[in-house]
Amino acid sequence: MIELNATLIAQVLNFLILVVILRALAYKPVANMLQQRADKIKETIDKANADKKAAEDTLAQYKSQLADAQKRAQEIVDKAEITARQEREALVAETKKEIDRMKQNAQLEIQNERDRAFDQMKAEIVSLSLAAAEKIVAKNLTSKENDKLVNDFISGLDKNMFENAK
Amino acid sequence: MEHIGVRETVQFMGLTFNWETLCMTWLAMAIVIVISCLAVKSLKVIPQGWQNFIEIVVVWLQGQLDNMMGKRGSMFAPFIVSLFLFLLTCNLLGLIPTLASPTNDLNTTLGLALLVVCMVHFFGLYFKGGHYIAHFFQPFPPFVVINMIEEIAKPITLAFRLFGNILAGEILIIVLLHLLPIWMPIPSVLWLGFSIFISCVHAVIFTMLSMAYLGNAVKE
């Protein structure tokens, strides 16, 4: 049962032949294929990582752009508000000035009207006085009495008129 | 039953050969080659059919080689993969009625074991030179005796373990078939199942031990 002979050498040779055949036939292609698969997987993972990184970068870029845009919009709104306020203030000031001016004009006009009315009244008073004087003269008063009468009348009128007008 | 252990021999150029062992070896080689051809016939990135089987074997053994030998492991990968596939086929062949395992012949197992041991010493010397010889005298020079016994025991244990297990398995299959009546097939079936397990386990053990021995010799 346990008997060694030349089969031992034959078996070693058989096995070595099998190794050579399998190495050429099966091992190399399979090993190459495995390497190829490993490369492909690595490539895919690398690509996925790169894509992910690119996506993250883009997202960050978009976020920063959005934040920037919001900031700028806020700035524009603030600026517009400031401008509107300034314009309103300017308008209010202008209107106030206008009102003041109109007021002044009105006062000036009133003053002028009053002066003119006063002048007119004065002229009328003079003519009335003259008429009155003519009537007194017609009653044959002395020249002295006549002058005194006219002057008293006028001065009396003057005093009352001015006090009433003021 | 009387034919167990009796080998049919042929004479060729004055040398004696066990004819059945040789025939069964060629059959096993043919099966391994055919399966490999089927596996690599249309290699795809997404594996199918036999490609799965060969890939599992190659990847598993490559992983073991990397662990045991480091960078030089890939050099021995074709040898180790062939060894495993060959032993697995040889061991399982004997479970088919009328066929026999080439590994039930000590000539086969001892031949392979001696081949492995020769490779161990050759590559040990090639890669490590003087250090390889010096390690037999570690930790003290008198240990050379124990180390020598260990080195001699390596091929013997490797060969007899496989030979004994496979031969015993086959003998018991025949014995059970003769001993038990035909209406009680359960023990035979159970033993057949167990033999399939043993066949796989011993193919793995032989391969792993060969790797371990080679690893010790060539690891940096």
Pair A133, A157: CB distance under 8 Å? no
Compare A62 and A135 and report the one with higher pLDDT.
A62
Select the residue of A3, A11, A26 nearest B111 (Cβ to Cβ). Answer: A11
Q: Confidence class of residue B3 from pLDDT cuts 50, 70 and 90? A: low
Question: Dihedral sign, CA of A61, A63, A68, A69?
Answer: positive
pLDDT reading at A158 higher than 70? no
Select the residue of A5, A15, A34 nearest B18 (Cβ to Cβ). Answer: A5
Determine, for residues A37 and B102 on separate chains, whether the beta-carbon distance falls below 8 Å.
Answer: no
Spell out the domain ranges in chain B.
Answer: 9-218
Q: What does the longest C-alpha to C-alpha distance in chain A come to?
A: 198
- Min distance B87 CA to chain A CA atoms (Å): 10
ipTM given for this complex: 0.85
Q: What is the pLDDT of residues A77-105, one digit of tens each?
A: 999 999 999 999 999 999 999 999 999 99
- Min distance B206 CA to chain A CA atoms (Å): 14
End-to-end, the C-alpha distance of chain B in Å comes to: 51
How far from B191 is each of B2, B87, B103, B105, CA to CA, in Å? 21, 20, 18, 21
> Which of A10-19, B35-44, B77-86 has the lowest average pLDDT?
B35-44
Q: What percentage of chain A has pLDDT greater than the value 90?
A: 54
- Min distance A62 CA to chain B CA atoms (Å): 39
pLDDT of residue A53: 96
- The stretch B128-157 carries a mean pLDDT of 86
Compare A149 and A5 and report the one with higher pLDDT.
A5
Q: Which residues of B touch A17 (CB under 8 A)?
A: 29
Determine, for residues A12 and B114 on separate chains, whether the beta-carbon distance falls below 8 Å.
Answer: yes
pLDDT reading at A6 higher than 60? yes
Select the residue of A2, A5, A21 nearest B33 (Cβ to Cβ). Answer: A21
pLDDT of residue B172: 84
The parent domain of residue A20 ranges over 9-165
Q: Confidence class of residue B74 from pLDDT cuts 50, 70 and 90? A: confident
pLDDT of residue B191: 83
pLDDT of residue B2: 45
Q: What percentage of chain B has pLDDT greater than the value 90?
A: 20
The two three-digit tokens of residue B133, written as one number: 């010889």
Whole-number Å distance between alpha carbons of B26 and B105: 14
> Which of A148-162, B13-27, B92-106, B107-121 has the lowest average pLDDT?
A148-162
pLDDT of residue B1: 40
Q: What percentage of chain B has pLDDT greater than the value 70?
A: 97
pLDDT reading at B180 higher than 90? no
Q: Work out the mean pLDDT of chain A and round it to a whole number.
A: 87
pLDDT of residue A49: 96
- The stretch B81-95 carries a mean pLDDT of 90
Quick check: is A153 in a domain?
yes
pLDDT of residue A29: 84
Select the residue of A2, A8, A33 nearest B43 (Cβ to Cβ). Answer: A33
Q: Which residues of A touch B115 (CB under 8 A)?
A: 12, 15-16
Q: Is B27 exposed, middle or buried (0-12, 13-18, 19+ CB in 10 A)?
A: middle
pLDDT of residue B115: 92
pLDDT of residue B5: 57
Whole-number Å distance between alpha carbons of B152 and B145: 11
pLDDT of residue B71: 80
Whole-number Å distance between alpha carbons of B46 and A12: 36
Whole-number Å distance between alpha carbons of B9 and B16: 6
Whole-number Å distance between alpha carbons of B5 and B7: 6
Whole-number Å distance between alpha carbons of B218 and B220: 6
pLDDT reading at B98 higher than 70? yes
DSSP string of B203-217, one letter each residue: HHHHHHHHHHHHHHH
Instruction: Please list, in sequence order, all residues whose beta carbon lies within 8 angstroms of the beta carbon of residue B1, skipping any fewer than 6 positions away.
Output: B174, B175, B178
pLDDT of residue A160: 64
Q: Confidence class of residue A166 from pLDDT cuts 50, 70 and 90? A: low
* Residue of B2, B105, B210 to mutate, interface with A, max A Cβ within 10 Å: B105
Q: Where are the alpha helices (DSSP H) in B3-105?
A: 19-41, 50-69, 73-93
Backbone angles phi, psi at B15, to 5 degrees: -110, 150
Quick check: is A120 in a domain?
yes
Quick check: is A4 in a domain?
no
Count of the separate structural domains present in chain A? 1
pLDDT of residue A141: 61
